[in-house]
Amino acid sequence: MSIDKYKTVAGIAESHHVVKKSRFFGEATAVHTQASAKEFITETQERNPRASHYCYAYSIGTGSALREYATDAGEPTHSAGPPILSAIRAFSLSNIICVVARYYGGINLGIGGLIRAYGQCARECLQNATIETHIFYENLYLKINYRDIGTVVTLCKRLGGKVLDIKYDPDPIIEVQIRQSTLETFHAQLQSYGIGV
C-alpha cells in the first residue's frame, strides 16, 4: 500500500530552553523542498542575529522519496543535528524543519550536555506545535452514463474521496478526488460494476 498521508506542523512552533546560561531557541515549520528549508534557516538567523550556532534537521517527503538531513553547524560532531532529527522522528513528522539557535553562555556543556539541550529544545518545540495531517489525492475525470452517477458518488465517498463536480453536457463527466492508497480499489470496483474508466 502506498503512503498517502503524513503529519507536519501548522504555522511556526517555538520553544525556549536555558542550560548553564546558554539559551536555546527552537523554531519548526512545514517545508516541502530543500529550497524552502534553506529560506526558513535564513529567516531564523535574521530573527536571532547574535546566536553563536544555528543547528537544524529536516525531513522532507515520504516513503522511498524521504530525504532527511541534520547538521551540527560547528558544534561537536553528532551533538546537535542528530538529537533534533531524533525529535522529528519521535513525533513521526514529515515535510518539516526544526532549527535550534544557541546563544553561548560562557560555560561549556560537554557533548552529553549539548545532546540533551538540543534534543530537549527540539522536543519542546514540537510539543508546542499544532500538528496537521495531510493526505495525497488524485483528481480523476470520469465520463459515465447517467445511471452510474449514484454508484460512482457512493463508491467515492465510501473510499474517503470527494466528488468535486458533475457536468451534464452532453454526457455526464464527474470529477472526483481519490486517496492515492485507494486508487486501485476504486478502479477495480468501478470495473466490477461494469463502469469503464
The answer to whether the beta carbons of residues 96 and 59 sit under 8 Å apart is yes
Say what the pTM is: 0.76
Both 172 and 97 in one domain: the answer is no
In a domain, 84, yes or no: yes
One domain, residues 22 and 94: yes
Collapse the DSSP code of 177 into the 3-class scheme (helix H, G, I; strand E, B; otherwise coil) and give the result. Answer: strand
Work out the mean pLDDT of the chain and round it to a whole number.
90
Domain stop point among 117, 134, 151: 134
**Which CATH number characterizes residue 162's domain?**
3.30.70.240
* C-alpha cell of residue 190: 468501478
pLDDT band at 197 (very low <50, low <70, confident <90, very high): low
Is the preceding omega at residue 76 within 30 degrees of 0, hence cis?
A: no
105 shares a domain with 33: yes
Q: Identify the CA nearest to 28 among candidates 80, 101, 82, 90.
A: 101
83 preceded by cis ω (within 30°)?
no
Q: Is the dihedral of CA 37, 39, 42, 48 positive or negative?
A: negative
* Same domain flag for 9 and 27: yes
pLDDT in tens, 59-88: 998 777 889 999 999 999 999 999 999 999
Measured distance CA(25)–CA(3) in Å, rounded: 33
- CATH number of the domain within which 60 lies: 3.30.230.30
Question: Tell me, what amino acid is at 90?
Answer: A
Residue numbers of the domain that contains 160: 136-192
Which value, in Å, is the radius of gyration of the alpha carbons in the chain?
A: 23
> Same domain for 105 and 159?
no
Query: Into how many domains does the chain fold?
Result: 2
Do 127 and 141 lie in one domain? The reply is no
Q: So what's the pLDDT on residue 126? A: 96
Q: 154 in a domain, yes or no?
A: yes
Residues 113 and 81 in one domain: yes
120-165: pLDDT as tens digits? 999 999 999 999 988 888 888 888 888 888 888 889 888 888 888 8
Together in a domain, 93 and 120: yes
In angstroms, the CA 34 to CA 67 distance is: 9
Q: What does the pLDDT average to over 100-113?
A: 93
Task: Check pLDDT > 90 for residue 36.
Answer: yes
